[in-house]
Structure 1
Amino acid sequence: MQASTFPRSAARALLLDLFRAAVKSADPLRVLPQHLPDKPSGRCVVVGAGKSAAVMAKAVEAAWPDVDLSGCVVTRHGHAVATEQIAVIEAGHPVPDAASFEAARRIMASVRSLREGDLVLALISGGGSSLLAMPAEGLSENDKQIVNRLLLASGLGIAEMNAIRRRLSAIKGGRLAEAARPARVVTLAISDIPGDDPLAIASGPTVYDPYRHLELSYLAERLGPALPQAAKRLLCCPAIGEAPWEADFRLIATPMMTLEAAASAATRAGVKPMILGDALEGEAREVGKLMAGIARSVRLHGHPAPPPVVLLSGGETTVSLSGPKGGLGGRNTEFLLSLAIALDGDPCIYALAGDTDGIDGNAEAAGAIITPDTIRRAGTAEDAKRLLDKHDSYGFFERLGDLVVTGPTLTNVNDFRAVLVLP
């Protein structure tokens, strides 16, 4: 198909194809086996945490049918898959529940008393911070739950949130790896973090935390007076621990890999892809306004390339809860609603945004699609702005039938955004 003749009637289908290509590129069953280490001479204990942990465990079993495996992984409720040797626990996300605490205890117990020649295979993916919950000494399980709720409404960036989680944990920030010594620890990870920082993925249970000696009182202040006193004391006092070590940490899927897969799919469809970056952050509604400006510049000026162009980006925006509440919506639908309002019915611009794990925030949808007539079909711009202020972007797109519903994808490489600009 010639780029200049790309039909507007195919815009929605193309956006969905790009999203599917991105998610498929991060399927653990496809990508994990090539990253496995040599088989161990001793025991092989498999542990893990995250939205992809169960399917990653299944991929290990399929790749190593001749290895005697044991261990336990924890994943989000509804994300379990059948395994034969590795136990799977489902737990709470984004706030830890009793199963989260039990999973952490079982995982820590499984790696203690290992010997040289044994292998701990750690399967880590996004969501592991709440799923693998073990309070630091002096902190209660209830304190941990309160902190998680405060983090979700704080507007803090993911790096700052994970710094807090590591400090308040007895398993994150490398403490799982410390417990496994002298066994070899190899981590296979799916990144949902801007920049793919190993320390930030599920708060780095197998990665040494170089910030453990810093005091974090400035972050305690950001969480406000509802922060439990025990948590505040831990954040304000530097932690102590072992000397640094090098981790064997292998990224098997990343946000950039998914953007590249989507870019290839766009090229095959006759649309020029432009990857804006895999680490875009900021308030979702502000990023929506910014993306509207970029898309309009492409349409009006043909820079940096003339339409048809699809602008691809990843990363994780934030939604700071303020003003009137009453709605249900995640960062992707909030981004899209803000984008649609800013575009004001531009006849040449379409967009999709979705969480690659299939669940945008607490909503039962991955994300949504906007078209040039989105605002008109919904009513007026004033109606759309009112719902945006209520953080009811999910309700907005649900009424239009424009939600993207996939169910759990069993992977998680952060958010995916595609803005299609046609001539």
Structure 2
Amino acid sequence: MPETPAYPVGLRLAGRRVVLAGGGTVAQRRLPALLAAGADVTLIAPEVTPSVEAMAEAGEITWERRTYRDGDLAAAWYALAATDEPAVNAAIAAEAETRRIWCVRTDEADEGSAWTPATGRTEGVTVAVLTSGAPGVPEGAAGRDPRRAAAVRDAIVAGLSDGTLVARRNRPRAPGVALVGGGPGDPDLITVRGRRLLAEADVVVADRLGPRDLLDELPPHVEVIDAAKIPYGRAMAQEAINAALVAHAKEGKAVVRLKGGDPFVFGRGMEEAEQLAAEGIEVTVVPGISSSISVPGAVGIPVTHRGVAHEFTVVSGHVAPEDPRSLVDWPALARLRGTLVLLMAVENLGAIAAALRAHGRPDDTPVAMIQEGTMATERRVDATLATAADRAAAEGVRPPAVVVIGEVVGVGPYAPGAPAASRDSGTRR
């Protein structure tokens, strides 16, 4: 007999009783989606995994510490038979059939009245995929293909999330601006949500330090505004950037402010958010991977390491220590034993190193300068606190560059003195 296809439907389980029998890894995987749907879950099992027990202790589910008994499905809307005993699962399915309750059997899918699809979610969309046996093939010879269902789900969700599968929204939307952190520069290091919002944008206001390669992927109709703030050179005034964001948002366009790193880490993101809020424009903040962590990591430097550094401090170096505008307590930083990460510090590196040394940081403290981290042109220059400024000048280190100061610079296979093969492998470019 040809296989009858399943009828796809979405269950609204909020506030409705769901019974799950079994407390193993299958239950552990199914519970988060049930809880996200708002289901009132009763779990029946004598033993459960630590993660499931934590859900019970937090009050997310009701755990009855026993085996299944006939009658446990009373008043349930949905049931899952997930024990490791086929006979018990069969009994649960039989009770569900008698009570006309949809039931999933996790051990023998064909013996249940419902199947669990491969499900994935991206903003505003739920993707659920079921596969079936090939036409004319006896049941069980080919059967459903859960791995293919998962692969199809993953492809669709990934495409919708990163913008490679474009399904633009057709409903009217309120004017708004997304402040998107683009990460350290490598286009693969932007968040999934950030990439999706780029794909949906009408206008993109982009910084020089954002992932520029992604701009080439935008459709022709997207207007790209260059808000490049080139250090010590031509810049688009912040007031002009704010005005552009406001003007385009009030025209009803989807606006993305694409920034390098994270919008709120030395990125003036809050200034832009405040201006937009004052104009009554909705703001969405999409965090990005900060270069203060990702760039050192890309060249094999952990900003913390057990037994070496228990803290790291991120400091803007765009103002020299002796400048009256400086808000940094350099004497206090010099006394710290952990890692110091400097952003925008190339010009003032000599003054910063001198201040740290004057207040007690040892001259031989390791220093690494990473220029254009995560990009194809990435390079790392190593020095000490005493030699950093001279090394930077001799090697022509220029912005954008991240400076790491501390013993973590000497940790791992990429540290100075490690074999050349090790230093040039892994994340090194």
TM-score range, shorter chain: 0.3 to 0.5
Q: Name the structure, 1 or 2, with higher relative contact order (CA <8 Å, separation 6+).
A: 1
TM-score (norm 2): 0.36
Higher percent of residues as helix = 1
TM-score (norm. length: structure 1): 0.36
**Rg comparison, structure with higher value:** 2
